Amino acid sequence: MIEIDGMHVPPSMRGQGVSSALAREALNHITQRNVYVDVKCPITKHYIKENQYAQYVRSMVNPVSLKRSKTAL
């Protein structure tokens, strides 16, 4: 299992889609290895929830992390 606990984008780069690109590439990397992911990062959770491209990731998300999450998928 891989844990995504946070993402940090410098203030000068915020609002330019950097966090979405990081989330997309991290999820691509994880799903290519066919492992479960424990998503604690609010940005990554939002990306999975809002982007059709990332919907396939839901089956790989640790269900325990979703139960304790305020922003469950």
pLDDT digits (tens, 9 = 90+) for 21-57: 998 898 888 888 878 888 888 888 888 888 876 767 7
Per mean pLDDT, which range of 2-6, 12-16, 38-42, 65-69 is the poorest? Answer: 65-69
Tokens of 36: 């479960």
Strands (E), 1-73: 2-4, 37-39
Q: Which CATH superfamily is domain 2-67 in?
A: Gcn5-related N-acetyltransferase (GNAT) (3.40.630.30)
Specify the higher pLDDT residue, 18 or 57: 18
pTM strictly above 0.95: no
Burial group, residue 61, by CB count within 10 angstroms (0-12, 13-18, 19+) = buried
CB neighbour burial string for 36-49, b if at least 16 within 10 angstroms, e if fewer: ebbbebebbbebbe
